[in-house]
Structure 1
Amino acid sequence: MTSTDTVPEIDAGPRLRIDGTRPLSPELVSEVQMFIDQAVSRTGVPVIHLSGAPSAAPGEIGIQLVSKWERALRHLERLDTPTIAVAQGDCGGVALETLLCTDYRLATGDLRLLVTTGTDAGATWPGMGLYRLANQVGVGRVRRAVLFGTPIPVAEAKALNLIDEIVADPTDAIAAADTLAAARSGAELAIARQLLFDATTTSFEEALGRHLAACDRRLRRARNGDGIDR
């Protein structure tokens, strides 16, 4: 399948595709940062296409790279322009983390949100995606997905307001969402969004240190190969 099969050709803002099967890498961070720069410098509403979920543990990455990724996502969710996401099929890993940073979320009927890593039995990546997930829908509503790896199907994701629309044709839906979002760009949108963030009881900065420490511990365990911290 070529990119033109699924990515609509609409005269709008920048486009980005994130494949959740990809491991975190400097190249991925650079792609997201380039998209952010384009969103700042160009007119039109930015759109991110998301699909795929990891089937293995994160691999050989350092905590510095995780920190850069988290900063890029924080920048993404604080843009002065609204962002639109189109999620398809299984969506986990870096794709799910990015989805949680967008403003208006479209999904096809086959969407499943996956919090845990496929072959890393029972493991949940302890990044800031967990922070966003819990703050956006509440701990109780996502407990099974986080602790036991229960997939969140599209109907449940819609009921939880993790997505805004279930669509058959992303092309038409993006055009309509573009029109809706275009009128909301600017500082007022960023201020309103920030007020929503601040309504939670725990600040991002306070939570970030704990999540990064958990990520670092998880990476050391993976490097040890025996599940024992050293």
Structure 2
Amino acid sequence: MVRAAEKRLRIDGRRPPTADTVAAIGTLCDGAEDSGGPGPVVIEVSGTPESGWTGRLTVGLVNKWERALRRLERLPVTTIAVADGDCGGPALDVLLTADIRIAAPSVRLLPPVVDGATWPGMALHRLAQQTSGTAAVRRAALYGTPLDAARARALHLLDEVTDDPAAAVAKAAERTAPFAGPELAIRRQLLLDARTVPFEEALGAHLAACDRVLRRSTGEAAT
């Protein structure tokens, strides 16, 4: 499933998370963390859960899945998601963790519905955190109402909608190539914390990041 040299993975949203899927994300993250290279992680996502998809899920497995997604969200390299067609369940979960989200015009984002209610996974948290809480997002989160490509783009849940996703991925990879390593992960975390952490509490983390940059630049100047 994982092509380590390219740091690529495909997630099929028709199927529920499994131990193998969790392991595949772990392998992908291991490769990205160990390579030290600037290349991005690229994850192709599509599909939405079929009826009865939660039948073999347990809370323990869901917890492992969510933790794997959190690790993906904190990688020291750029993450690019490429979406096609309907995306729900695991496909939507992964899409919402990515730094850059590229989609075909056919994309629809669909929070899956189970027993008359939407699945209450962390995708709901990310949908609310990453948007301004518009009526469209509320309808998606509460009732599973699809968000088509145009709406998702307007809500900034997608960065680009294109008929040529491969070319868009290549451009994004080239644009982000200079940015990799622990400092990228730190900037991402500062952004993730910004919606929930007050200025006074966030200041220390931002100052620490500034101090690291100054120390490193001073050291480089001295050499």
Shorter-chain TM-score bucket reads 0.7 to 0.9
Give 3-state SS (helix, strand or coil) of 2:134's partner: helix
- The residue aligned with 2:189 is 194
C-alpha separation between the residues in 1 aligned to 2:133 and 2:166?
33
Is residue 140 from structure 1 mapped to residue 134 from structure 2 by the alignment? yes
Q: What is the root-mean-square deviation in Å for CA atoms of aligned residues? A: 2.1
C-alpha separation between the residues in 2 aligned to 1:88 and 1:35?
21
1:1-230 to 2 correspondences below 5 Å: 13-42=6-35, 43=37, 44-57=39-52, 58-117=54-113, 120=114, 122-141=116-135, 142-201=137-196
Give 3-state SS (helix, strand or coil) of 1:105's partner: strand
Give 3-state SS (helix, strand or coil) of 1:139's partner: coil
- Map Cα deviations across residues 1-42 of structure 1 (whole Å, 9 max, x no partner): xx9xxxxx9x97410000000112111111111111111123
Conserved in 2, the CA contact under 8 Å of 1:91 and 1:114? yes
Aligned residues: 193
Structure 1 length as normaliser, TM-score?
0.79
Residue 202 of structure 1 deviates from its aligned partner by 7.2
* Runs of 4+ that moved beyond 6 A: none
Residue 147 of structure 1 deviates from its aligned partner by 1.2
C-alpha separation between the residues in 1 aligned to 2:26 and 2:190?
24
Conserved in 1, the CA contact under 8 Å of 2:83 and 2:102? yes
Higher relative contact order (CA closer than 8 Å, sequence separation 6+): 1
Structure 2 length as normaliser, TM-score?
0.81
Residue 144 of structure 1 deviates from its aligned partner by 0.6
Conserved in 2, the CA contact under 8 Å of 1:122 and 1:149? no
- Map Cα deviations across residues 130-187 of structure 1 (whole Å, 9 max, x no partner): 1111000133341011112210000011101101001111221111011012122122
Counterpart amino acid of residue 86 in structure 1? V
Conserved in 1, the CA contact under 8 Å of 2:33 and 2:75? yes
Deviates more, 1:94-103 or 1:59-68: 59-68
C-alpha separation between the residues in 2 aligned to 1:21 and 1:138?
28
C-alpha separation between the residues in 2 aligned to 1:105 and 1:122?
29
Counterpart amino acid of residue 158 in structure 1? R
Counterpart amino acid of residue 105 in structure 1? R
Identity, in percent, stands at 50
C-alpha separation between the residues in 1 aligned to 2:26 and 2:59?
18
Residue 123 of structure 1 deviates from its aligned partner by 2.1
Shift of the 101–109 alpha-carbon distance from structure 1 to 2, 3 Å rule, reads same
